[in-house]
Amino acid sequence: MSRSTVFQRTLLILTAPLLAACVSQQKYDALQARYDQLNQTMSSQINANQMHIERLQNAIKVTVNDQLLFPSGDWQMSLGAQRMIAQMAPILAPMQQTKILVNGYTDNVPIGPVLRRQGVTSNLVLSQKRADNVMQFLLSQGVNPSLVSAQGFGDADPVASNDTPAGRAQNRRVELTLAGSGN
Protein backbone atom coordinates (compact mmCIF):
# COMPACT_ATOMS: atom_id res chain seq x y z
CA MET A 1 0.00 0.00 0.00
CA SER A 2 1.51 3.37 -0.98
CA ARG A 3 2.05 6.17 1.47
CA SER A 4 -0.65 8.24 -0.24
CA THR A 5 -3.10 5.36 0.17
CA VAL A 6 -2.36 5.23 3.87
CA PHE A 7 -2.95 8.98 4.09
CA GLN A 8 -6.31 8.48 2.41
CA ARG A 9 -7.39 6.44 5.40
CA THR A 10 -6.04 8.29 8.35
CA LEU A 11 -6.07 8.98 11.97
CA LEU A 12 -3.56 11.67 12.78
CA ILE A 13 -1.89 11.84 16.11
CA LEU A 14 0.03 15.05 16.07
CA THR A 15 2.36 16.25 18.76
CA ALA A 16 2.30 20.05 18.52
CA PRO A 17 5.40 22.22 18.98
CA LEU A 18 7.05 21.75 22.35
CA LEU A 19 8.41 25.28 22.18
CA ALA A 20 7.16 28.14 20.05
CA ALA A 21 10.45 29.10 18.42
CA CYS A 22 13.10 26.41 18.89
CA VAL A 23 13.45 23.12 20.69
CA SER A 24 16.10 22.58 23.33
CA GLN A 25 18.40 19.60 22.86
CA GLN A 26 16.84 17.92 25.92
CA LYS A 27 13.31 18.27 24.55
CA TYR A 28 14.45 17.22 21.09
CA ASP A 29 16.11 14.11 22.55
CA ALA A 30 12.99 13.27 24.59
CA LEU A 31 10.79 13.58 21.50
CA GLN A 32 13.24 11.46 19.50
CA ALA A 33 13.14 8.79 22.20
CA ARG A 34 9.30 8.70 22.02
CA TYR A 35 9.50 8.50 18.23
CA ASP A 36 11.93 5.57 18.42
CA GLN A 37 9.78 3.82 21.04
CA LEU A 38 6.61 4.29 18.94
CA ASN A 39 8.40 2.84 15.90
CA GLN A 40 9.55 -0.18 17.88
CA THR A 41 6.22 -0.76 19.66
CA MET A 42 4.12 -0.34 16.52
CA SER A 43 6.52 -2.10 14.11
CA SER A 44 4.04 -4.83 13.11
CA GLN A 45 1.40 -2.24 12.15
CA ILE A 46 4.02 -0.18 10.30
CA ASN A 47 5.29 -3.23 8.42
CA ALA A 48 1.71 -4.16 7.49
CA ASN A 49 1.18 -0.60 6.14
CA GLN A 50 -1.56 -0.01 8.70
CA MET A 51 0.36 2.85 10.30
CA HIS A 52 2.99 5.41 9.35
CA ILE A 53 5.04 7.34 11.91
CA GLU A 54 6.82 10.49 10.81
CA ARG A 55 9.30 12.52 12.86
CA LEU A 56 8.92 16.24 12.33
CA GLN A 57 11.05 19.00 13.83
CA ASN A 58 8.79 19.61 16.85
CA ALA A 59 6.29 16.80 16.48
CA ILE A 60 5.53 13.17 15.88
CA LYS A 61 2.77 12.42 13.39
CA VAL A 62 1.17 8.98 13.46
CA THR A 63 -1.12 8.09 10.58
CA VAL A 64 -3.38 5.06 11.05
CA ASN A 65 -5.40 3.36 8.31
CA ASP A 66 -9.02 4.53 8.78
CA GLN A 67 -10.39 0.99 8.42
CA LEU A 68 -9.07 0.41 11.94
CA LEU A 69 -10.94 3.39 13.34
CA PHE A 70 -14.59 3.74 12.44
CA PRO A 71 -16.77 2.16 9.81
CA SER A 72 -18.29 4.76 7.50
CA GLY A 73 -21.29 6.23 9.26
CA ASP A 74 -20.37 5.05 12.76
CA TRP A 75 -18.63 6.49 15.79
CA GLN A 76 -17.64 3.40 17.79
CA MET A 77 -13.91 2.63 17.64
CA SER A 78 -13.00 -0.83 16.41
CA LEU A 79 -11.14 -3.19 18.72
CA GLY A 80 -8.07 -2.87 16.48
CA ALA A 81 -8.05 0.91 16.91
CA GLN A 82 -8.46 0.54 20.67
CA ARG A 83 -5.55 -1.89 20.83
CA MET A 84 -3.28 0.42 18.85
CA ILE A 85 -4.12 3.51 20.89
CA ALA A 86 -3.72 1.47 24.09
CA GLN A 87 -0.20 0.49 22.91
CA MET A 88 0.67 4.14 22.27
CA ALA A 89 -0.79 5.54 25.52
CA PRO A 90 2.13 4.49 27.79
CA ILE A 91 4.60 6.06 25.36
CA LEU A 92 2.67 9.34 25.34
CA ALA A 93 2.01 9.29 29.11
CA PRO A 94 5.28 11.07 30.00
CA MET A 95 3.88 14.05 28.09
CA GLN A 96 0.93 14.34 30.49
CA GLN A 97 1.78 17.97 31.22
CA THR A 98 0.48 18.74 27.75
CA LYS A 99 -3.11 19.15 26.64
CA ILE A 100 -4.50 16.59 24.22
CA LEU A 101 -6.95 17.98 21.66
CA VAL A 102 -9.13 15.35 19.96
CA ASN A 103 -10.66 16.67 16.72
CA GLY A 104 -13.19 14.63 14.76
CA TYR A 105 -13.96 15.00 11.04
CA THR A 106 -16.24 13.27 8.53
CA ASP A 107 -16.65 13.10 4.79
CA ASN A 108 -19.57 14.95 3.19
CA VAL A 109 -21.90 11.96 2.73
CA PRO A 110 -25.30 12.89 4.20
CA ILE A 111 -26.45 11.17 7.38
CA GLY A 112 -28.65 8.17 6.61
CA PRO A 113 -31.85 6.98 8.29
CA VAL A 114 -30.12 4.46 10.58
CA LEU A 115 -27.97 7.14 12.18
CA ARG A 116 -30.91 9.58 12.31
CA ARG A 117 -32.85 7.02 14.36
CA GLN A 118 -29.88 6.99 16.76
CA GLY A 119 -30.06 10.77 17.17
CA VAL A 120 -27.23 11.63 14.78
CA THR A 121 -28.75 14.38 12.66
CA SER A 122 -25.65 15.78 10.91
CA ASN A 123 -22.02 15.13 10.09
CA LEU A 124 -21.14 17.66 12.79
CA VAL A 125 -22.90 15.50 15.41
CA LEU A 126 -21.23 12.35 14.01
CA SER A 127 -17.77 13.94 14.15
CA GLN A 128 -18.38 15.06 17.75
CA LYS A 129 -19.41 11.52 18.71
CA ARG A 130 -16.20 10.17 17.10
CA ALA A 131 -14.04 12.69 18.94
CA ASP A 132 -15.86 11.97 22.22
CA ASN A 133 -15.43 8.21 21.72
CA VAL A 134 -11.67 8.55 21.23
CA MET A 135 -11.43 10.93 24.19
CA GLN A 136 -13.35 8.51 26.44
CA PHE A 137 -11.05 5.69 25.38
CA LEU A 138 -7.98 7.81 26.20
CA LEU A 139 -9.47 8.53 29.62
CA SER A 140 -9.99 4.79 30.16
CA GLN A 141 -6.25 4.39 29.47
CA GLY A 142 -5.35 6.75 32.32
CA VAL A 143 -5.05 10.07 30.50
CA ASN A 144 -5.67 13.00 32.83
CA PRO A 145 -9.27 14.21 32.20
CA SER A 146 -8.36 17.85 32.82
CA LEU A 147 -5.87 17.69 29.94
CA VAL A 148 -8.18 16.29 27.24
CA SER A 149 -10.86 17.97 25.15
CA ALA A 150 -12.88 16.81 22.14
CA GLN A 151 -14.34 18.83 19.28
CA GLY A 152 -16.24 17.75 16.19
CA PHE A 153 -15.87 19.67 12.93
CA GLY A 154 -18.13 17.62 10.64
CA ASP A 155 -17.13 17.82 7.00
CA ALA A 156 -15.32 21.14 7.49
CA ASP A 157 -11.62 21.26 6.66
CA PRO A 158 -11.39 18.29 4.28
CA VAL A 159 -7.86 17.11 3.52
CA ALA A 160 -8.88 15.55 0.20
CA SER A 161 -11.65 15.78 -2.37
CA ASN A 162 -14.96 14.30 -1.31
CA ASP A 163 -15.59 13.38 -4.97
CA THR A 164 -13.86 9.99 -4.67
CA PRO A 165 -14.11 7.09 -2.20
CA ALA A 166 -10.38 7.46 -1.43
CA GLY A 167 -10.79 11.16 -0.69
CA ARG A 168 -13.81 10.57 1.52
CA ALA A 169 -11.87 7.89 3.43
CA GLN A 170 -9.06 10.38 4.03
CA ASN A 171 -11.52 12.97 5.33
CA ARG A 172 -13.00 10.52 7.86
CA ARG A 173 -10.44 11.02 10.58
CA VAL A 174 -9.72 11.91 14.14
CA GLU A 175 -6.69 14.04 14.90
CA LEU A 176 -5.07 14.00 18.31
CA THR A 177 -2.77 16.93 18.99
CA LEU A 178 -0.54 17.06 22.03
CA ALA A 179 -0.22 20.81 22.54
CA GLY A 180 2.72 22.27 24.46
CA SER A 181 2.01 23.95 27.78
CA GLY A 182 2.68 27.35 26.22
CA ASN A 183 -0.20 26.92 23.73
Q: What is the pLDDT along the chain (183 residues), one digit of tens a residue?
A: 544 434 434 333 333 333 334 557 887 787 788 778 887 888 887 777 667 676 766 666 666 656 667 766 778 888 878 887 888 777 766 656 667 778 888 899 999 999 999 999 999 999 999 999 989 998 898 888 888 899 999 999 898 899 999 888 878 887 777 654 433
Q: Read off the pTM.
A: 0.72
**What b/e string do you get for 67-105 counting C-beta neighbours within 10 Å, with b at 16 or more?**
ebbbeebbbebeeebbebbeebeebbeebeebbbbbbbb
Q: Is 46 helix (H, G, I), strand (E, B) or coil?
A: helix
How far is residue 122's CA from residue 110's CA, in Å, rounded to a whole number?
Answer: 7
How far is residue 168's CA from residue 160's CA, in Å, rounded to a whole number?
Answer: 7
Answer yes or no: are the C-beta atoms of 140 and 89 closer than 8 Å: no
In the chain, how long is the greatest CA-to-CA distance?
A: 54
Answer yes or no: are the C-beta atoms of 166 and 4 closer than 8 Å: no
Domains of the chain: 3-179 (3.30.1330.60)
